[in-house]
Structure 1
Amino acid sequence: MTAVPPLDALLAAPLASPLAPLLAGLDERMPGLVALYEDLHAHPELSFQEVRTAGIVAARLREQGWEVTEGVGRTGVVGVLVNGPGPVVLLRADMDALPVREETGLPYASTATGTDPEGNEVPVMHACGHDVHVTCLLGATGQLAAHRDTWHGTVVAVFQPAEEVGGAPAMIEDGFLDRFPRAEVCLGQHVAPAPVGFFGTRPGPLMAASDSLRVTLFGRGGHGSSPETAVDPVVMAAAVVMRLQTVVSREIGASQTAVVTVGSLHAGTKENIIPDTAELRINIRSTTPTVRDRILAAVERIVRAEAAASGAPEEPEIIPFNAFPVTVNEPGATAVVHASLAEVLGGGRVFTLPQVITGSEDFGVFGTALGVPSVFWHFGGADPALYADVDPDSLLEDGLPATVPANHSPHFAPVPGPTIPLGVTALLAAAAPWLRNEAPGVR
């Protein structure tokens, strides 16, 4: 494994020059891009509710000279820029935020609220960095439009809604394949809590599959003082939660990767009333079809067995939702992207990740639907000061320290100044081999 250079060396190393003509003027654009990022961060929107964000994206693309289509997959935006004959490259960013109350203390922190699919008012935060993704892609589209003499072909810029709940399939179902130029490669990125200057990807499986289940357990309500007259679904739910913890530890091999999480448990309205039902929302991460099937079967078995053991008057209801496949990077295209990122950003910044990430993505849906290679990578957005006491060589093997806020944390806050220009540069560097007809197999 290549050792990770010291963080100060990563940040001080100059960028290589192959993309210099395409990057010209990016420094001058940076104040506007940072202001855009702060605005997006302060005004997050839940999945399929990204109306304001989509409007900003569409307006910016039109100002840059792109052909723009709005309302794709409900709230998605697609920009197309044709620049002579050549390959078609898809670049993607996601736009939605999460029902999280922000606790970063930033001057542009979100105080927004929204209405979730169940009709509840919830706090909203860009806790996964999708505001960074939108900003970086708009920065890249601006550079492509301003420097058309440096490349040729067609770029399809996809601003996807609802990544957190599967917005990519919604765009495909809305006729994406027939409405826009068919890409020959799909490229995307995700900001991570790694230090600024870190870029990581890998050929083959990159991110885990995700399956979500909504489980309703049925009891028989009654007075809290007389539990013998009722069937308590709260106790039933507690037994299910505890038993599910054994699925990965006792039914999945130590060399295999899987996660089972109960992220939501709701039951009852008052402390002295035994309710009729309890609802659990369960999330499963897996990296192979065999492991996935085994976990899903184990979860269903446990839920039904615990209900039977509790004397439930009805069978549990188990409803799947929000399923994402494994994100797979095509090896040949990944080698091209890795080499281009290393050439432009510096070899000391770009790494091959040693294992599959247990987070999930629906980005791969585009490449699968189109039948073309796709490549996804992660790039650091964390303040290097958070890593002051961390051995850089341990990052790839040991993961992030517990003191660094991760994606979906109320404290997650990428540092925009260095993160955004590196993210813009990475998108352009990844696309460059195709837009210059230098990638293998490009016509």
Structure 2
Amino acid sequence: MVRRAAVAAVLVGTVNVALAQSNGLDGRLATPLNSLVATMYPELDALYKDLHAHPELAFGETRTATRLAREMRTLGFEVTENVGKTGVVAMYRNGPGPTIMVRTDMDGLPMEEKTSLPYASKTQTTWNGRETFVAHSCGHDVHMASWVGAARALVAMREKWRGTLMFVAQPAEEIGAGARAMLADGLFTRFPKPDTALALHTNPRPYGTVSYSVGPMTSAASSFEILFKGRGGHGSAPNKALDPIIIASRFVMDVQTVTSREKDPMAFGVITVGAFQAGSSGNIIPDSAVLRGTIRAYDSGVRTLLADGVRRVARASAIAAAAPEPEITIADNGYGVVNSDTVVARVEAALQSGLGKDKVARTRPLTTSEDFAEYGSEGVPLMFFLVGVFDPEEVSASNKSGGKPLYFNHSPYFAPVPEPSIKTGVTAMSLAVLSLLATP
């Protein structure tokens, strides 16, 4: 603790000397900020690799949350743990001014990492009644390291701003339940309701770059689970059984006509079946099959149309086989993230000035979903932006005809390049927060 405090004091001294030569939030701020980030990076690298090697699943992020809480207390934040089960809220007050929320997600994914990195996760746990590996294959470890780094930078730069930092470490983003859990536990009543909320996410784009959209940034999502019922029997006598695998397979194929023939082709919408579970042996026809999937759309009307189609096709598939009616559960997992045009305008100017216009770009909305949108549903203006994590040359080669595809988030081979990715994340988030805080 003494060593960490000494390091923090050195960082504060270093940045204040440099900032004394800088006036306002312009390009000149980038030099002292970059120097500060370079000084702190070795510890952020160690933090990142520790988090990467020890991922935890939704609402089980106890080790992760404890580590992040400790980091924030060292910086002088007032920290509250166990908000929304495993969430962390860290407050830093620095005079009158806006309250800016910075969110990071914490949870990993129930999958095996296959990157062969020296710090690759080998963690295993029980999930949904079965043993599974756990991996940070969506980049939440990069998010957390950037979150801690931005907090360090902003505390070191506290003479340049006024207001309140509200750093939130949220659980269970991957299952779309963490934001709701924290809100239900009083995130905006026990603590100040922020004037703006910010979050970043890794993306398979060139490292050193930041991108975002104005307006819709992610899709809204629903999850579904369908239990198809049949009658078990011997594989040699299918006529004496009622095969639920055939019924479920028909559904998987036919449900795609809802998006290709019922949805407006100009409107985004997708139905994906991601899990198909049935049977135990090649010579046994099981008595049931379970499918799990997602529905995604930007528009609520499109999402409703797709959900109705899932129900209708599932029932039709069972009727075609003279099978019992399936059990269908569809749950809305959250809204789409909508970036505030006012917030984007202010942050964009700071990012372009601090990172360079060639490193900052507007992009199309993502087809993925994010429960960061829940905070927007409470009336808080949002900005969600992307940080590139791959070698620019690899990205360029991939974009050429016949190029090797890049590994996307949730791939077992997803492997961000840590140093430039985290440094950009820290710098971009620090600039974004500074652009929204009051100046002394």
Shift, 1:316, TM fit = 0.8
Shift, 1:379, TM fit = 1.2
The 2-side partners of 1:21 and 1:404 are apart by: 34
Shift, 1:47, TM fit = 0.9
Alignment partner, residue 363 of structure 1 = 372
Structure 2, unmatched stretches of 5+, are 1-25
Give matches, 1:102-117, under 5 Å.
Answer: 102-116=113-127
> For the Cα contact (< 8 Å) 1:258–1:291, is it kept in 2?
yes
Code of the aligned partner of 1:199: V
Alignment partner, residue 435 of structure 1 = 437
Q: Please say if 1:81 is aligned against 2:92.
A: yes
> For the Cα contact (< 8 Å) 2:108–2:136, is it kept in 1?
yes
Q: 1:326 aligns with which of 336, 344, 357?
A: 336
> For the Cα contact (< 8 Å) 1:185–1:367, is it kept in 2?
no
Show CA shifts across 1:364-390 (max 9, x none).
211322x12111111101122312525
> For the Cα contact (< 8 Å) 1:188–1:376, is it kept in 2?
yes
Code of the aligned partner of 1:68: V
The 2-side partners of 1:431 and 1:177 are apart by: 19
The 2-side partners of 1:189 and 1:334 are apart by: 13
The 1-side partners of 2:27 and 2:138 are apart by: 29
Residue 402 to residue 315, structure 1, CA distance change in 2 (3 Å): farther
Code of the aligned partner of 2:406: V
Shift, 1:20, TM fit = 4.7
Show CA shifts across 1:20-73 (max 9, x none).
555652211101101110111111111111111101001111111100000011
The 2-side partners of 1:172 and 1:389 are apart by: 43
Counting matched residue pairs gives 414
Structure 1, unmatched stretches of 5+, are 1-14, 439-443
Alignment partner, residue 13 of structure 2 = none
Code of the aligned partner of 2:370: E
Q: TM-score, normalised by structure 1?
A: 0.90
Q: 2:154 aligns with which of 144, 149, 155?
A: 144
The 2-side partners of 1:293 and 1:63 are apart by: 47
Show CA shifts across 1:304-337 (max 9, x none).
000111111x211111246121111111111111
Show CA shifts across 1:390-433 (max 9, x none).
56xx8xxx9x9652100000010111111111100111111112
> For the Cα contact (< 8 Å) 2:398–2:405, is it kept in 1?
no
> For the Cα contact (< 8 Å) 2:346–2:436, is it kept in 1?
no
Alignment partner, residue 414 of structure 2 = 412
Code of the aligned partner of 1:38: K
The 1-side partners of 2:385 and 2:299 are apart by: 20
Alignment partner, residue 159 of structure 1 = 169
- Aligned-pair identity in percent equals 44
SS at 1:25 equivalent: helix
**More deviation, 264-273/17-26:** 17-26
> For the Cα contact (< 8 Å) 2:227–2:288, is it kept in 1?
yes
Give matches, 1:199-218, under 5 Å.
Answer: 199-218=210-229
The 2-side partners of 1:28 and 1:362 are apart by: 33
Residue 418 to residue 22, structure 1, CA distance change in 2 (3 Å): closer
Code of the aligned partner of 2:294: N
Q: 2:136 aligns with which of 122, 126, 134?
A: 126
The 2-side partners of 1:387 and 1:144 are apart by: 32
Q: 1:375 aligns with which of 380, 383, 396?
A: 383
Residue 388 to residue 433, structure 1, CA distance change in 2 (3 Å): closer
> For the Cα contact (< 8 Å) 1:22–1:144, is it kept in 2?
no
Alignment partner, residue 233 of structure 1 = 244
Q: 1:40 aligns with which of 51, 62, 65?
A: 51
**More deviation, 142-151/154-163:** 142-151
Alignment partner, residue 384 of structure 1 = 392
Shift, 1:111, TM fit = 0.7
Alignment partner, residue 4 of structure 1 = none
RMSD: 1.8
Shift, 1:171, TM fit = 0.4
Alignment partner, residue 342 of structure 1 = 352
Alignment partner, residue 77 of structure 2 = 66
Shift, 1:175, TM fit = 1.0
Alignment partner, residue 56 of structure 1 = 67
Code of the aligned partner of 1:162: A
SS at 2:118 equivalent: coil
Shift, 1:271, TM fit = 1.6
> For the Cα contact (< 8 Å) 1:21–1:150, is it kept in 2?
no
Alignment partner, residue 103 of structure 2 = 92
The 2-side partners of 1:26 and 1:200 are apart by: 20
> For the Cα contact (< 8 Å) 2:33–2:427, is it kept in 1?
no
The 1-side partners of 2:95 and 2:75 are apart by: 17
The 2-side partners of 1:78 and 1:23 are apart by: 27
> For the Cα contact (< 8 Å) 1:165–1:322, is it kept in 2?
no
Shift, 1:436, TM fit = 2.9
Give matches, 1:135-284, under 5 Å.
Answer: 135-166=145-176, 167-284=178-295
Code of the aligned partner of 1:417: E
The 1-side partners of 2:247 and 2:377 are apart by: 41
Alignment partner, residue 300 of structure 2 = 289
Shift, 1:153, TM fit = 0.4
**More deviation, 183-192/337-346:** 337-346
> For the Cα contact (< 8 Å) 1:87–1:437, is it kept in 2?
no
SS at 1:164 equivalent: coil
